[in-house]
Amino acid sequence: MVKGVTRQHFGMLAPPSLTRRHALFLDFDGTLVDIAAQPQAVQVRPDVVASLRALHEALGGAVAIVTGRTAADIDRFLAPLHLPLACEHGARYRLGDRSGGVAALRLQPVLDALRPLLQRHPELRAEPKNAGIALHYRQAPQLEALCRQALEGALRCVPGAELLQGKCVLEVKPTAVSKGGAILRFMDEPLFTGRVPLFIGDDVTDESGFVVVQSRGGLGIKVGDGATQALARLESPPALRAWLAGAAAALAGPRLPRAAAGEGAR
């Protein structure tokens, strides 16, 4: 049992009390923000930015966003914060003044396959990224099979790529990357190493992250319904926002020496 954690309904744990020894990894869509009709229409509440800023300070900088979005998107939504980032499902990362990632895919067959599809169905939306591409069908969920068929066909001509299913989105990404792999990379960095990792996410694309943090003595926290390998759950993005605000308030104030602060939670 992770210290500071209690059982809740259906055998899932409630989130633990955050300590200064934790590292916090957070998905964005469906986690920090409610999912919107279009990806660019999400609303970031000011209290979320305030909580993240306070927690970044309280945890000595060990707060990272782990998302399928691009870095430009996250920086714009969370401005003026400039947090450590694993974006595009781990294909890109940023930590301090360092950044990098895997090589971009050669996506021409995918673009060729999508062109007629997008012309016939303007309610579909393609989102080019640096390392891959996402096809959103939230406005036309009946087209999911058609979208999948087109992308799977195109991917036969794109070595090193795979299809990732999210919530009303299909993403073409490099095979070798995952959110779990991105979190492992961070945990090997001095800023994060030795800390107890928490990863909070809402989608099947977050499952690899849950497994990784739990293998490192931490806890995966699933936001919302659905089967998961995470051991803890929060019911919704508003519930997460309340938890973040509470954690930020509890950790506010000057740092105490470790012994005085009662640190040592796992």
Residues assigned a catalytic role: 27
Q: Least distance (Å) from Mg ion to the CB of residue 34?
A: 11
Provide the edge-to-edge strand list for the sheet that holds 22-26. 98-101, 92-95, 85-87, 63-66, 22-26, 196-201, 219-223, 232-234
The residue (of 84 and 209) whose beta carbon lies closer to Mg ion is: 209
Which residue's CB atom is positioned nearest to Mg ion? 30
The residue (of 163 and 204) whose beta carbon lies closer to Mg ion is: 204
Which residue's structure tokens are 């970044």?
56
Structure tokens given for 246: 């509470």
Angle at 161 between CA 131 and CA 121, to 5 degrees: 80
Q: Least distance (Å) from Mg ion to the CB of residue 26?
A: 10
The residue (of 15 and 109) whose beta carbon lies closer to Mg ion is: 15
The binding site for Mg ion (CB under 5 A) comprises 27, 29-30, 202-203
The residue (of 27 and 171) whose beta carbon lies closer to Mg ion is: 27
Q: Least distance (Å) from Mg ion to the CB of residue 35?
A: 8
